[in-house]
Structures are given as structure tokens and as C-alpha cells.
Structure 1
Amino acid sequence: MAAALDRRWAELVPLLDELLPLSAAARSTRLSQLALDAELQRLLQELLQADARGAALEAGCEAAREDELVPVQASLPSIEGYRLGEFLGAGGMASVFLAERQLAGGASQRVALKLLRLNVHDPQERRLFQREQAALARLEHVNIARFIDSGFAADGTPWLAVEYVEGESLLTWCDARRLPPRARARLFLDICTAVAAAHQALIVHRDLKPGNVLVRADGLVKLVDFGIAKLLEVDVESTRTELRRLTPAYAAPEQFRGEAAGTGADVYALGVMLAELLSGVRPQILRDGSAAGLDTRAIEDRHASARNLDGASLRRLLRGDIDAIVARALRAEPAQRYASVDALAADVQAWLEFRPVAARRGSRRYHVGRFLRRHRLGLLLGGLAVTALLGFSLVSLRLAQRAELAAEQSRADAQRARHVQDFVLSLFRSGEQGLPEGRATSAEELVERALRAARENFRDQPESLVPLLSAVGDLERGLGRYARSLEILLESAELSARAFGPAHALTLQAEAELGYTRFRNGEYALGAARLDAALQQYRAGGGGDNEAVMSALLRLGMLQVQLNRDDPALRCMDEAVQLGQRLYHGDHPALQRAMESYGSVLADVGELDRAAAVLADNLAIARRLYGSSHMVVASALESLAVVQMSRARLEPAAQNIAEAAAILRDKAPAVHTMTAYVANTEGVIALRRGQTEAAQQSFERALHIYTLLNPDPHPMTAATHANLGRAAEELADAQAAAQQFGEALRISIAVRLPGDLRIADFRCHWAAALAEQNNPRAAAEFDAALPPFFAAAMPASGHLQAECLARAALAQLQRGDALTALASAERALALPVQASASVLARLIAHRSAAQALLLLQRRDEAVAQLRAALQLTEPSFAPRQSARHWQVLASIADDLGERELARLLKLHLDS
């Protein structure tokens, strides 16, 4: 059918243009009058029926034919955790119900639950569907109906739950309020912002139309059905099914031709929507599939009245700029349209501000006219003569031409971004092709395919290849493949330096990404040295302040703090935040992210009070930007909770992490990285409050999510196994602790983190658990665990070194080696580390030293160790383990006849 459509498209366009505005009865009458051959008749009927289905969904589906609808009262699949209610409507590929989502504690949440009209039994298709859902789950925007959950019914029917929006369709809302064109254009910009955010997340809507835009009573725009057409690509029916998903009046020519629809298809649909929203009529389509622009002659008085204008005024307002904007958005070839949704929105914004629009490469008279219109009040008040202005314009237009060149460069950047996005989208769309039956593409295969194709397709386009390589390197880092990430990011940075020089923002951004991966890989010194040099070269070459500089400073500060360079680290963070405040006046997402990083670095250098203050401010900014129940707010709450926990403010920490978890239960899908991250922190806080069983439940929940998200070895999976190991230590379950720390160690080695002290830390705890079970392998594992700590320049590793040495001392005592145990304990106690971070380590060290000294018959020195332990006044982060060690110390005091000392030591058991 795609071939037939392509061949007959020129004939279909004028027929659709004539028939689509007609009522069903008028269409039928007109069709009977047309002399069409059988093929053309069939194609036209297909397109008109698809349009009817789309219109039915917009109107609540009152006019949809009964044989096209899923029965409402019977044969509906059961969805666990949801109770289906009122039938809301249906389209060609889904039926929509109002449903109640059952939440923990008996609460419920109203959602729109969509039952898709296909069964997915093939494992490969199910994986693809789940991957599409994971992409949608990451799409969080105030103007997009939020994705909540998805799954499969018992009969294989895919379903998804999204935010239920109470509102009216875009055109109905605007017409009911007789909203004038400029107010409508501002609503259109909100729609563009939402679509652009989705494109940035590599998601294309492909069925944009006014019926898919709802406006709440308070005027907030919500884009709905985002990604449905994309998700339905798991259905491999014919092009006939694809056509049923389209709404012909808003579909781009390439969609009718059966070609892959990229971001340009959304630009096309937005152009149609803009025309209809402002004028009341859809643009006239030419035979090549493009539009001639707005036909202002078709605007009637009823259209103007709905916009609180008369017909002549409306036609005059839209003639020229809006006409040109629409025509450019509706070019037949995607490459000739606006390069991005942002570029389209920029022209609409320019029209609102009486500035020249890029769609009209206007004459000098046009530019002057726009200037006059924009500044008419100032010109009148200042008494500036028009003739003087025209004389001055000879100079100002030269400046304008330079600005036009800069704008053209910006459009070229947007075009490159669009090419990159469409390129990556095409890779994901073809991800299952060319594979043996029953096997889906792994993430690693997809990344490797992206890398090969990027190098082949953009070999001579470094302006596109550099950001693509950085994106692939970032993906590799996310997969935990740090060595591969470093290799690709190094290639990106060196290519950018050769192509553009060190004083280019692309080069600095690539270096910042490289520095961050070195940070994650434990290569702190190398990462800091290279990034610092890159930043100096950028500035020496005249590079200006921008977001790339802010990013580089933030990354450099993170590296410096790991090298015990507290002052340089704080200078970097201070400068980054100050730069952000200059770049973004008032609250801004980039500045908020910088504040969160700043607070974390302050915590790392031990300035916990300042960190808490900064992160409290960061939370306030996040709430002002996003409201009180947004995922960014959940992240800010989690960061603050971690610092509060470090300050032993466990109650407020628990309250904040509980609020973060509640936000995610409402806003995030069940399987989401942030949900797992917060569950992990929730578990750590519970562990430190002595709620070990609750902590285990949180860690198990986090591990389940991480395993689903990352089937292959991943650092966060390893960290969660280690947390389960710490819970087992609290419960004195040496066998479970050995199992969990052993798994954490195995995963960490598999993902190759050679410079990461977590490997040494996990090995140390594993060795301690083995020693508890009298496993002779423990000694060798302690010997392997200790050297990396002393080779590290990382100040935060001090308490890890101390704990490893202290646990090694206990194991050495078990073997009867008192002298070696004493030496290990004394080394642990000599390390300069924060008291709050080292209570457990020092407690174990004092116990080991006291026991070793007793064995060596050095009674007075043993008593001195007991008295020194009493100086540990900070609360321990492992209360049950600590209690066991205090009990041993009190027993030693009793054995030595030190009754008062024993009494004082026992007081710690109660605290």
C-alpha cells in the first residue's frame, strides 16, 4: 500500500483538501459524485476513515463505529493494581479508561489507562515494548501528561497508565474564551517546549494534533498520547495499520509514503496546528505535499469572532510573518522545514515580539518595519523622526546582518542536533533488524552499532561527530563500561581539539565529560590535570563563559575534592555557581543542578553545616521551579537527607527521604533509576537508625529495580549487594554477609573499576565475613584489600582504610597473631579521619588493640585503650554492631577488675 500511496499522492492531496472539512454526510454525497478508479477510491476511503477515527477520539469517541471499539462492558483484561472505570474514548489503536491505581496504605490515584489493540506474546517484541516504556518513563515535563506505569495483561494485551488530565481540547478551550491570536500563540509555545523536551529525550510523537493537547481550567497545557505511535511499532502489521494511526490532516508527506518519521514530522504537524489555532482554518496542501502557507482568504467571520476580532483584522494580523512561518514548517521535504521545534518556536516568539522572523529573509524595509513596530512607543515618546531612523538604519542593518549570520549559525547548530537525534532514533528503530529470531538487541550491541555508524556517517562532519561520540561515551559510562567510555570520550575530545581548537565550547564540553568518567573510574589525578589544562587553554584562547565552562568547573571541583585539594575544589564550585547566577538570572534548572553538586562537594570536604544550608536552598529552588511533587524535588530531598544523615540528624533525614520516596511512588514508574537510588538511601538511613529489617527491605527493593534496569554487571547493583552485606553484618549473619559482599566484589571486578576503592572496601568486608566463619582464605583477602587504600589520595577513603585495618586486626586475633593485630589496630587509630565517619572503625580498633594487649600481658596499655574508647561520643552508623563491640570492651574491663570502667562502657549499650 505504501507504494500505491507514493504513486497516487499527488492525486489524493487535493481530494483530501476538499473532503476533510466536510461533515460525514457531505463527504458521502461528494464521494458519490466523483469519478475515481478503484485504487484511488480505496486509498481515499482509507485516509478518510483514519481521519474519522482520529476525530472520534478528539470528541470523546461518540461517533466511532461500534465494530472498531473494544467492548466496554465485557471481555476487558484484568490489570493487577488497577480498577477500570469510566470509558473515556478510543482511537484506531487504543481504548482509554479512567482507572484507579491502588497505592500502598489504601490510597488510590486516578489515571488514564490505555489498552492497546494488539497482543504481544513474542519475547523479543515484549522486550522492545518495555524498552520503549523505559524511554517514556524518563520523559518528565510540566506540559506532558506524565507516564506512570505499563505492563501486559494476562492475555498479552499491552497497557500503559498515564496522568489523568481534566481539561478541554486546545481548540475548544481557546474558542470558548474567545482567546485572541497572540494569547493562542503563547499556548503554542508551551506545546513546542514540551515537544522539544521529548525530542531531546529522543522521543518523537508522530501524531500531534489539537485533540492531543488538553488545557486545564488554570490554563496549563498538557500534551497527551505522547509516544503511542512510537510504542506501537512493536506491531509489525502492514502499512494499512500504520495509516490507521495517522490523522491525515496533520501527517507529514513522508508518513504517507511509509518512510521513517523523525522530528521533522512533528515540526510539520505543529505547523498545521499553528495555522488552525491562530486562524481557524487548516493550510492549503499543494500537490507535492507541502503547504502554500495560510490561505487568509478562507478565514470567515466566525473564525475571527472566536478570536475576538473582525475578519479583516484577523487576516491582516496573520498575513506575512505567520503565513511564512507556516509555509516553512510545512515544506514537503523534512530538510527544508525548520531544523528543530526550538527553531519554529523562536520564530513564533519573534512574531510575538515584533522582531524579524527567520522564515522571511526580509528586505531592509521589512527589518526596519519590524524595528518600528517593536519600538513604536519609545520612538513616539522620544520624538525620533522616521527619516533619522532610516538614516541610522544603514548602520544598524549591518549589525542586524551580523546578527542574522549568528542566527544562521545557531540554526545550523540546531540542524546538526536534529541530524544527530534522527540518526540515533533510526538506530533504535532498527535495533531488532538483522538478528536471529527470538533475540533482541542488547544495550551493548546498540551502543556499538551507534559508534560504528557515527564514525561512518559523520566522518567529515566533526561538528556532528563530536557530540555523537560524547553521547555514546556517556552511554558506555551508564552501562558501567568505564574503560570503553574513556576511550570514546578521549577520541571525542581530541577530534574536537583538532577540528575547532581548544577555545571552542564543544572541546571544553567533551573534556568535561572525559573528566567525569575519569572521576567515576577513580582516575582523580589524571582527570583533574587534564581538565584543568583544558579549561586554561579554553580561556587563554579567548573562550567565553557559557554552560560548558560551568560544567567543566563542576567536574573539576568533584575531581579536586577526591585529591584532598579542598580549597581548589571549593574555588571551582564557587566559581561555577557564580557563573550560573550570571548566566541564568533567578531560578534556573542548570543553576539548581550546580547547587546540588556544590552541596555534595561541601559535604565531601567535611563542611557539613554549609552543605546542609546549600542543599536546603537547592531544595527551595527545585520546589519553586518544579512544584512540590516533582522528581527533581525528590532528588534534592535525597541529597539533603544524605547530608543530614552524615550530621547524625537521622529524624529529619528520615522525613526527607520518606517524602522523596512518596513523590516517586506518585510520579515515577515502578522501575526507575531514581526510585532505586532513593530506596538505597532510605535503607542506609534505616540501618543507621537501627531498623535493620526495614533497611533490608529497602535494599532488596533497590536491588530488584537495578537488576531489571541493568541485567549485566553494573556498579549500582554491586553497591546495593554491599548494602545488603552491611545489613547482614548488623544482624551478625556472617554467611549472608559473605555472600552479599562476595557478589558485590565479583560485579565490581567484572565492570573493571581499577581505581575505585569500592573493590578494596568490598574485599575487606568479604574477608571479615570469611574470618567470622574461620575461613583460612580471609588473611589473603585482607592482604589484597589493604594496599589500594594506602595508594589512594582520596581523603574520604580514610575511614575505609581505618575500618579495613581494624577488621583485619580482629581476623589476625582469631588466628592468634596478637603482635600483627596490635600493629594493624594502631595503624587504624593513627589515621586522620572525621570522627563522625570513623566511629565504628575506631571502636573495632580499640577493641582489637585491647584484646591484643591482654594476650601480650600489657594490662595498663589495655586499660588505656578501654578509656580511649570512652572518648567516642559521636553516634555510630552501625548501632547493633557497635553494641556488640561495646559489650566486648565492657567484658574486658570486668575481667581486669575495672568495675567503674566497665559500668561506663556498658552505658554505651543503652545509648
Structure 2
Amino acid sequence: MSRADDFHALTAEQWKQLDEQLDQLLELEPDEQARRLERIADRDAATAERLRQLLDKEGQDARLDHHLRNALSYLAEQAPTPSGTRIGAWRLLSRIGSGGMAEVYLAERADGAFERKVALKLLWPGLNSEQAAELVGQERRMLAALDDPRIAALLDGGLSDEGRPWLAMEYVDGQPISERCRSLGLDLSTRLGHFRQVLQAVGLAHRKLIVHGDLKPANVLLTRSGQVKLLDFGIGRMLQPDAGVLQAGPGWKAMSPSWASPEQHRGEAPSPASDIFQLGRLLQAMAEDCKPDGKRRRRELEAMIERATRADPEQRYLSAMTFLGDVDAFLAHRPLLAMSGGPGYRARCFLTRHWASIGLAVFLVLAGSTLLSQQWLQSRELKQRHAAMEAMLGYLQDLLEQSNPHRSDGTPLVSGAFLEQASAQLDERLGGQPEAQARMLNTLGKIHLARHELLLARQRYNDALSLAHHHELEDIEERSLDGLASIGIWTGDYAETERLLRELVVRRSRGDTVANNLAGAQLRLADLLHSRGDYPSALALAREAATSRQRPVWSDRVIGMILRDQGRFAEAEEALLAAYTLEQSRPRPRRATRAELTDHLAMLRMHQGQLAEAEQFLNESSRLRRSFLGAQWDGLLWSRHWEGVWALANGDSDRAAELLDLAVADYQRYFGEDSHLLAFARSDRAWAALAQGRLSAAREGFEAAARRLERMRSSGEHPRLAEPLLGLSLVHLATDRPDRAQASAEHALGLRNGLPEDSVGAMAWRANACRILRMSGGDCPMPTMASAAPQGLDAWRLSHAIDGLCQGPARTMAFCETD
């Protein structure tokens, strides 16, 4: 007789009886339910105990899910769907597998439209029609997003006549990857090459905010041609862009216990970290019968597996791409992140990589004559000293690069205090070697620039430039100038930076340098001209740089943000999405670049009136920055500024004020008083103050912003000067100075009239300026087609400001009664 807790041992007939009894019990009140169980226990104690377990209030849903799924799986094993059954446009041929969520059939096209065989996944019964439709829809959306040759493609899907969800997938004629590697007797390098494909495919899914949740050899096939194919991504779930939290879809939580991560066993949802754990287990299975030669190489392989499969998810590889970096390092005999080795370990890696040249040197020493050996040894000593210096500089630069968020591989960033100490010791340690000192200063400048510590970056680049100029180090001098030009785009020394960039463009146009260096200088100049408000010149230069296709992501980003600020939203969207898609397709996408692009897309969505989608982009950007900067690092100023603007558009003036106060302080600290970004932040903060009804603070912020923007260009005015001018117009109206209000509004309207006439966004902006001008007593015909323009950030900012004034200091003013 079977035990009461052994549900797997039940026959189909016993399951049927248990299911009927359970249904009857669930319809009874608790007291009657207990009496019925007692009567059942008198006849069959084991059945009564099973029913009590299923009815247990502690985790009732989980128990029902677990046991009924097993029951349905068992029953399905007994009665598979007959061959020849038609499901959608497909005819079942034979069953080729089954799992915790579905049975899988080989199927062929039944309607004669074309010939094709597929793997048709038929989910177990048990969902209602609404849940089933939602599950199919979610899986189709996920798999459609994973357009990659290493992931089995989704071809079709729907509901069967019995209401069971089904998905028709690309049929893959392959073996589980570990079995295939063993049967072919592949060496370790070849196996790791296949594992690289797996990591790249999983990394792509994670960038699409999708986790797999059930990675194991049966779901990773290797075809005869050597192509890796990942199956069953439909078991995965989409991640919410705002917090990296699993979006629980309908249906059962499926996993393979022997492959699941510790947190999955605890009942937690699968995550990128659980995929990393399963990837470690997969590598272990693939290399089980193929250990590398040498104790160190075995320890390296074991270290990678150990790092990936740690019990604490936070101690595993940060991402599939970080894991891939260690696999590549292993193949190239470079130091591994998982080893965290000291100088001896790094030296052994160096010897392994360069064994041939070292062996040749030893042979020459032994074979040469005494005189030749002495001469060769003297020459070799000089070369070794130079090589040692190069190696040491390379090591120090690599060490410092751990502080660079653009280059970080997921290890903790070196602190700012460490960078300050490194800079202070350069004179003492490298005072007699100007080239080495200048190189290190340029490295420090680049890192400070990437961390948005621009005033520190400018100091380091200036020191490097001085050394390079004095000692005629042309390469280093150009790198210093390039860095200073990048800083000048943001810190306010616009005239000198423009002169410097134009000089670089001319120098690089002479043909003695590669095209991407020229494109880089052109794009920095375009960025600067955009910062100064010369949109037409900036756009023309960015498009010229784009023709080289050497910096496509950068080119599209600059073009997109210029078009956005001209109000040409559709064109801006096309450019920014192109940049984002291209960056995502890189083998190792740069998180800092993705964060910048999502910021720009968020601002575009706010201007287009799509606050919900803007919030998603901002959440993704914030998550990306916190993933490599940490939650408290000051370099989060970008996220704080744009999140503050979103809160302002959404009507949360208190939250907006809090975030924008932080942004203003950050810009002052890192960019300096002359930065245009500080002017924009002050203007945004002043709009929040208006929404709060704080006239004095609003006036102070608008006036400071206007003063800086008025000095941005040697000729003409910055189009965004209109924003603080319109704010000042409202301040003047609220303080009963209509003449000054009208003058400010007229000035703002004139600036906005300078934007492209056919720009949808500019039409809306002109309409908002007209509204304020009319409130101040001026005359303004509404722009043509203004009604078709989106009600976006500019309109919401104005509306919240008027509401704040009319509920507070200006509630008795005439415009509050008529507007």
C-alpha cells in the first residue's frame, strides 16, 4: 500500500477518485469538511491524509499547484495526444518529449501552405481560457523579442480546441550540448567555444529583460553544424524595466530541481542570477570528461564554475557578459576575474601567452658566442627595462580603469579617494619619467570624465598636456586635447572648447589619421554646438560624421537629441532607437552608453506626452547606473535630474524639488557654475518652485538660468532660453507687473519662432508661449496645426505652475479666473 505522502505512486484511477473527493470537500464548510474527512479516514486513512495535505491552509495554493501538476503530467503520460491530431495549422506526428509545463510533439504543416516541420509545445491542461490566452500572448511577445540564430524561433501559437495553450517552435535536429560534446570527443577549447554561444544568447535575453529559468543540457542543443540552439525560453518570464523584478505570468512555476538555483528551491522567482547559476552547472557538465592540462588551468576552470554557482546570488558573476569575459580570458591565458590572483598568478599567465618568444630568447642566450651574447644581453637588458616599464604602466592603467564605469566588468569601482591618492603620488613616483607620468594623468583624466567628475578631469588633462607639450610627446598631447574638449562641452568654457575642437577637426581632416578619429572630433563639436543652441550647424556636422559609419551609435545619439530639441520628434525617435538597438546588438553592450540612450528616449517620451513609457526608460537607466555605480555614488546626477523632470511633469512638485535640488548641487560640484546643464537644472527647479507657489525661489532660479543661457553664444540666442523667460513671465504676472510679463513672453515666443516651422513639437511650444503672452495682455495668433501637437512636458510644466500660483500667492489675479 502506498504511503500518504507518496503522490507519485498513485494510479490514474486513484487520482481521479482523489480529485472528485477534493472537489466535494472544497464545497463544504470547515466543520462539515472535518466530519467528512473523519468518515473517509475510517475507510482509508492514507486517502484522508492526502486530502488533509491538499486542504492544508498553510501554502494551500502551492500544494495544489505542485500535486495537481504532477497528476496532470501523469495522466498525460498515460494518454498522449494521438498522432494525426490537428492543432491550428499543424498536424501532430509523434511525441518527442515532455516536461513540467508541456509535452512536445514533432508536427508538420497541415494546410498545405508550405512544407515545414516544427516542435509543437502543448501545455498541460489546468488553466482557464483567460489565463491560457494570457500565457500564450506573453510567451509569444517574449520569443518574438529574442530574434537570434542561437535561440529557437517562435513560428505560431494559439489555443487548441480543448483550450490548451500551444506554441509552434523551430524544430532543432540536435543533441543536448553535453552529450554531443562527449560523443564527438571535443577538446576543451572547442567546448568553451560552444559555451560562449550559450553565454551570448543568454546575455541577449537578459538585455531584453527576459530570464530563462530552466537552463540545462536538454534545453541547450548542439546541431550537426556546430550551432548552439537554446530551447524553452517560453518558460522564462519578462523582467519589469523599473526594478528588475520578475513579472509573474499566469501558469505554473516550472523548474528542474537538479538544475535550479538555491533561491529557486526557496520558491523565489527566477532571475538573471539564477540563470548564471545554471550556466555554471552547464559548464560543469560540458567539461566533466574533459579536464584541462596543468594544475593552474584546472583551478581556473573550477574557479569559473565555483564563481557562477555560489549560493549567494550577489556573489556570482554580475552578468552573462562578465562570465563570457572570464571564458575569453581563460582561452587567451589572461588572468581571470574568478581567480582574483596576485602578481605570481598574473606573471604565469604572461609566460603562458608569450612562451614562444621567451623560449626563443633562451635559445639565443645559450647558443650565442661570448661576445655576441654580451652584446645581445646588453641590448636585451634595455629592451627588458622598456618592456617592464610598458607592462607596469599597462598594469597600473588596468588597475585604475576599474574606476571607469564605461569599462567596469562588474567588480566594485575603485573609490574616488584612491584616485586622488594615485594622482598625488605621480610626481613622487614618476617624476623623472615625463612620458609615463603624462600617460597616467591622461588615464586619470579619462576615468574622472567617465565618472562625471569634470573639474578633476580637467585638472588631470591640463597637467598631462603641459608635460606632453614641454617634452614634445605628440600622441599624448592629442589625447589630452581630446579629453579637454570633451570636458569643455559641459563645463562652460565653450568658446575655447569650440576653437580647440575646430582645430582637431582640421588636423584630422588632413588624411593622416583614421576616419573614426575625425568622426569623433566632428561629433564632439556637434555636441558642443548643440549645447550652445546652434542646432542647424550641430545637425549638419553630426550628419556629416554619420556618413563615415565609424561611430554609428554616437552619431545617432547626437542626431537624435538635436532633432528632439528642435521638436522633430518622429525623426528623433528613429535616430535614438537606432542607436539603442545597435548598442544592444554589440557582443558586450556598454551599460553607461545604454543608460545615456535611455535617458534621451525618456526625455523624448515626456515631450511626446507618454509619461508611462518615459518612466520605464528612466527606471531602466537608473537601474543600469546603480548596477555599476552603486546606489549612493554622486555620478547618479543624470538619473536624479531626469527623474526630477518626470516628477514635475507628473504633478509631484515636492518630489521634483527634492531631486532637482540634488541635481543642482551635483552640477555645481562637478561641472561648475558656467555649465549649461546647471542652467537647465536651475530652470527646472524654478518651475517646481512655481508649482509649489514659491515665487521668490522661482524668480531666483529663472534669473540665474537666463543669465547663463544669454551668454552661451557669440551671436544669436539659445532656443531654450525661452523656458526660464516664460517662467519669469508668470512670476511677473503673479506680482502684478504685466508689462514685464509681456516683454518676457514676447522674447520667449521670438526664440521659439526660430525653430523649424513644420516641427510638431515646436508648434506646441509656440502655442504655450502664446498662451502666456495672451495672459499678460499681448496679442498672439495661435500657430497653425497647434491643436495636433502633443500635450507634453512643456504644457504640463506650464499647467502645474499656473495651478500652484492660483492656489497660492496669485489666487486673486485675473489670469486665475480666466485661464
Question: What TM-score comes out, normalization by structure 2 length?
Answer: 0.51
1:189-204 alignment, distance < 5 Å: none
1:627-648 deviation per Cα after TM superposition (whole angstroms, max 9, x unaligned): xxxxxxxxxxxxxxx6998343
**Whole-angstrom CA distance in 1 between matches of 2:566 and 2:403:** 47
Which residue does the alignment assign to 1:528?
Answer: 498
Question: After superposition, what is the alpha-carbon deviation per residue over 1:481-514, rounded to whole angstroms, capped at 9, x for unaligned?
Answer: 211111110111121111116xx23322321222
Label 1:507 to 1:483 Cα distance change in 2 as closer, same or farther (>3 A): same
Matched, 1:484 2:642: no
Q: Of 423, 430, 434, which residue of structure 1 is paired with 2:396?
A: 423
Residues of 2 paired with 1:430 and 1:763: CA distance?
Answer: 30
Residue 231 of structure 1, aligned match among 328, 338, 347: 338
**Is the 1:115–1:157 Cα contact (8 Å) retained in structure 2?**
no
Whether 1:847 aligns to 2:735 is no
| Residue number in structure 1 paired with 2:600 | 681
CA distance in 2, matches of 1:469, 1:747: 24
For 1:566 and 1:60, locate their aligned partners in 2 and report how far apart those are by CA, in whole Å: 52
Q: Distance in 2 between matches of 1:474 and 1:844?
A: 42
List gaps (5 residues or longer) in structure 2: 1-185, 193-210, 220-229, 240-248, 250-269, 284-303, 369-378, 405-411, 804-818
Q: Would the alpha carbon gap of residues 513 and 231 (structure 1) be closer, same or farther in structure 2, given more than 3 Å must change?
A: same
Aligned ranges for residues 97-108 of structure 1 at < 5 Å? 102-104=236-238
Q: How does 1:276-355 map to 2 (within 5 A)?
A: 325=357, 327-328=359-360
Is this contact kept in 1: 2:464–2:480, CA < 8 A? yes
Distance 1:82 1:759, change over 3 A: same
1:648 alignment partner in structure 2: 570
How far apart are residue 707 of structure 1 and its match? 3.7
Give the whole-Å Cα distance in 1 for the aligned partners of 2:600 and 2:656: 19
CA distance in 2, matches of 1:877, 1:523: 35
Q: Quick one: structure 1 residues 490 and 559, their matched pair in 2 at CA, closer, same or farther if it must change by over 3 Å?
A: same
Inter-CA distance 842–644: structure 2 relative to 1 (3 Å threshold): closer
Residue in 2 that maps onto 1:158: 316
Cα separation, 2, equivalents of 1:420 and 1:522: 33
**Residue 747 (structure 2) aligns with:** 827
Give the 3 Å change call, closer, same or farther, for CA 479–603 of structure 1 in structure 2. closer
Q: Structure 1 residues 568, 727: CA separation in 2 closer, same or farther (over 3 Å shift)?
A: closer
Partner of 1:269: 352
The DSSP-based 3-state class of the residue aligned with 2:396 is helix
Provide the residue aligned with 1:114 in structure 2: 280
Residue from 483, 494, 515 that aligns with 2:485: 515
Could you say which residue in structure 2 is the equivalent of 1:783? 703
Please give the alpha-carbon distance, in whole angstroms, between the structure 2 residues aligned to 1:654 and 1:573.
13
Which residue in the other structure is 2:469 paired with?
Answer: 497
Match of 1:815 in 2: 735
Amino acid at match of 1:423: L
1:539 positional shift? 9.3
Distance, in Å, in 2 between the alignment partners of 1:850 and 1:425 is 60
Deviations 1:8-48, CA, capped at 9 Å, x for gaps: xxxxxxxxxxxxxxxxxxxxxxxxxxxxxxxxxxxxxxxxx
- In structure 2, relative to structure 1, the CA distance for the partners of 1:493 and 1:743 (3 Å cut) is same
2: CA distance, partners of 1:455 / 1:773: 52
Q: Kindly tell me: are residues 505 and 572 of structure 1, through their superposed partners in 2, closer, same or farther at Cα, counting changes over 3 Å?
A: farther
Report the CA distance between 1:474 and its aligned residue. 0.9
Partner of 1:881: 795
Equivalent residue of 1:500, what SS?
A: coil
- Gaps of at least 5 residues in structure 1 are 1-54, 62-79, 89-97, 118-145, 166-193, 199-203, 214-222, 234-241, 243-257, 273-292, 294-324, 337-359, 361-404, 432-439, 582-590, 609-641, 854-860, 890-905, 907-911
In the TM superposition, residue 809 of structure 1 has moved relative to its aligned partner by: 1.5
Over 3 Å counting, the alpha-carbon distance change for 1:734 and 1:570 in structure 2 is closer
For 1:754, what is the secondary structure of its paired residue?
coil
Q: Distance in 1 between matches of 2:684 and 2:801?
A: 21
1:876 to 1:561, Cα distance in 2 relative to 1, 3 A: same
One-letter amino acid of the structure 1 residue matched with residue 768 of structure 2: I
Is the contact between residue 744 and residue 762 of structure 1 (CA under 8 Å) also seen in structure 2?
yes
CA contact (8 A) 2:400 2:444 kept: no
RMSD over equivalenced CA pairs, Å: 5.6
* Aligned CA distance change for structure 1 residues 814 and 700 (closer, same or farther; 3 Å): farther
Secondary structure at the aligned position of 1:834 is classed as coil
The amino acid that maps onto 2:754 is V
- Equivalent residue for 2:435, pick from 456, 460, 463: 463
Any idea what the Cα deviations from partners look like across 1:53-82, whole Å, max 9, x if unmatched? xx9987999xxxxxxxxxxxxxxxxxx974
Contact 1:563/1:794 (<8 A) preserved: no
- Confirm or deny: 8 A CA contact 1:802 1:838 kept in the other structure: no
- Counterpart AA for 1:500: E
Q: What displacement does 1:480 show?
A: 1.8
Distance 1:575 1:415 in 2: 43
Checking the alignment, whether the CA contact within 8 Å between 1:803 and 1:842 is kept in structure 2 is no
Distance 1:730-1:553 versus aligned 2 partners, 3 A rule: closer
Q: Which residue of 2 aligns with 1:588?
A: none
Cα contact 2:216–2:282 (8 A) shared by 1? no
Change (3 A) 1:489 1:739: same
**Greater displacement, 476-485 / 736-745:** 736-745
CA 1:796 to 1:472, structure 2 compared with 1: closer, same or farther past 3 Å?
Answer: farther
2:664 to 723, 745, 756: 745
Query: CA 1:682–1:791 in 2, change beyond 3 Å: closer, same or farther?
Result: closer
Question: Matches of 1:410 and 1:847 in 2, distance apart?
Answer: 74
1:451 partner letter: S
**2:806: which partner in 1?**
none
CA distance in 1, matches of 2:797, 2:533: 33
Q: What do the CA deviations read for 1:224-260 (whole angstroms, capped 9, x no partner)?
A: x9753x3332xxxxxxxx7xxxxxxxxxxxxxxx744
Deviates more, 1:98-107 or 1:821-830: 98-107
Distance 1:747 1:416, change over 3 A: same
Distance 1:643 1:471, change over 3 A: same
Instruction: Measure, in 1, the Cα distance between the counterparts of 2:502 and 2:738.
Output: 48
Aligned pair partner of 2:550 in 586, 592, 600: 592
CA deviations over 1:427-480 (Å, ceiling 9, x no partner): 68999xxxxxxxx98521232233244433332333332222111111111222
Distance 1:426 1:884 in 2: 49
Q: Is the 8 A contact 2:605 2:613 kept in 1?
A: yes
Distance 1:452 1:162, change over 3 A: same
Q: 1:526 to 1:265 in 2, by over 3 A?
A: farther
**C-alpha distance 812-442 of structure 1, shift in aligned 2 (>3 A):** farther
Q: Given the superposition, is the C-alpha separation of residues 663 and 409 from structure 1 closer, same or farther in structure 2, using an over 3 Å criterion?
A: farther
Q: Secondary structure at the match of 2:432?
A: coil
Tell me the percent identity: 17
Superposed, 1:36-47 pairs within 5 Å as: none
Kindly provide the amino acid, as one letter, of the partner of residue 646 in structure 1. Answer: R
| Structure 1 equivalent of residue 216 of structure 2 | 85
Aligned residue runs from structure 1 range 134-173, under 5 A: 153-154=311-312, 158-159=316-317, 162=320
Contact 2:725–2:745 (CA under 8 A) maintained in structure 1: yes
Q: How does 1:536-575 map to 2 (within 5 A)?
A: 544-545=512-513, 551-552=520-521, 555-556=524-525, 558-559=527-528, 562=531
Deviation sequence 1:674-715 (CA, Å, 0-9, x none): 342343234234334432123223213322332443358878
Q: 1:265 to 1:444 in 2, by over 3 A?
A: same
In 2, the alpha carbon distance for the partners of 1:648 and 1:156 equals: 41
CA distance in 1, matches of 2:443, 2:772: 50
Is the contact made by 2:489 and 2:497 (CA closer than 8 Å) also made in structure 1?
A: yes
**Secondary structure class of the residue paired with 2:431:** coil
Letter in 1 for 2:771: R
Residues 602/484 of structure 1: CA separation in 2 closer, same or farther (3 Å cut) = same
